[in-house]
Amino acid sequence: MEGADPSRAWSFLVVNEGDRQHQGNQGYDDEPSRYYSWDSTVPNRDGPQEGDLCAVRDSRGLLGISQIDEITRSEGEEKTRLRCRECESTALKSRATVRPTYRCSSCKAAFDEPIEQPIEVTVYRADYGRSWVSVGGAVTAGELEADCYLSGAKQHAIRPVDPQALRQLAATRQILIAGEWWRTGGAVEALEIPGGHRRLTALARVGQGEFRRRLLERFGPVCAFTGPQPGKEPACGPRDRLRKRSTTRTRRGASAQGRSSRTV
């Protein structure tokens, strides 16, 4: 598995509860950044192999990419399949707000209680957490569709993908993938940020204190960029510390003189 550049890649579609349209399948045990499950009713069930790349996506776009470390198969698992009461199709849509709850996409019949059919399946699970690289929405579903897929079967949960196209697309999004990141599981090339300090020469306005005082007098605690500020004090970044010092002083002075609430 730790040999040559993986020559095959697959996309795994993760279906969020909210967007699961076809309820004939009641969902799988998935943890998108670690493993993906499917069963023997799924097209391409025997496609993904250890060592292949996987692109895990949802209906909106790519969640991340990884290399499959292990595929486990568990035979003789029981599963309940939901079928249309009229035509026995499994293409049922479940509706959150409309009754009856289920509608058949094939014959358009609507009903609350579908036929429940117990079937025996083999459950597959691909584990890939070791070399997972989160892509976090940088590649949309449309881009994947246009550039990466080797088949147009959009409804399939597992689809073959061109690994080179996938990596090129990731690269255009500044997703830094080390040449063979899957060997070490070290996902992303870290850019080194130097530490320490250096001296700078800064330009300071002559009369800054008075300038600031007049600004506040005229405009109040309103930031030119973000508008009115919460509380009594304007928040303007690096000046905060200076302001706090002068505020304390003035408050003390003001209360000593019994004057009202100017804070600056």
Q: Which residues are near Zn ion by CB under 5 A?
A: 84, 86-87, 89, 104, 106-107, 109
Question: Quick one: 87 or 242, whose CB is closer to Zn ion?
Answer: 87
Nearest approach in angstroms of CB 86 to Zn ion is: 4
Q: Decide: 6 and 128 in contact? Cβ < 8 Å.
A: no
Nearest approach in angstroms of CB 117 to Zn ion is: 14
Angle at 141 between CA 181 and CA 31, to 5 degrees: 55
Nearest approach in angstroms of CB 50 to Zn ion is: 39
Question: Quick one: 83 or 156, whose CB is closer to Zn ion?
Answer: 83
Nearest to 122 by CA among 16, 39, 234: 39
Question: Quick one: 92 or 121, whose CB is closer to Zn ion?
Answer: 92
Q: Which long-range contacts (CB under 8 A, 24 or more apart) does 234-241 make?
A: 239/212
- Residue ranges of alpha helices (H) inside 119-206 are 141-147, 163-172
- Beta partners for 215? none
Question: Quick one: 1 or 107, whose CB is closer to Zn ion?
Answer: 107
Q: Which long-range contacts (CB under 8 A, 24 or more apart) does 162-165 make?
A: 162/9, 163/5, 163/6, 163/7, 163/8, 163/9, 163/53
Q: Decide: 126 and 55 in contact? Cβ < 8 Å.
A: no
Question: Quick one: 86 or 180, whose CB is closer to Zn ion?
Answer: 86
Question: Quick one: 109 or 138, whose CB is closer to Zn ion?
Answer: 109
Nearest approach in angstroms of CB 110 to Zn ion is: 10
Nearest approach in angstroms of CB 25 to Zn ion is: 16
Nearest approach in angstroms of CB 18 to Zn ion is: 24
How many CB atoms are located within 10 Å of the residue 114 CB? 22
Q: Which residues of 146-178 are buried (b: 16+ CB within 10 A; e: fewer)?
A: eebbeeeeeeebbbbbebebbbebbeeeebebe
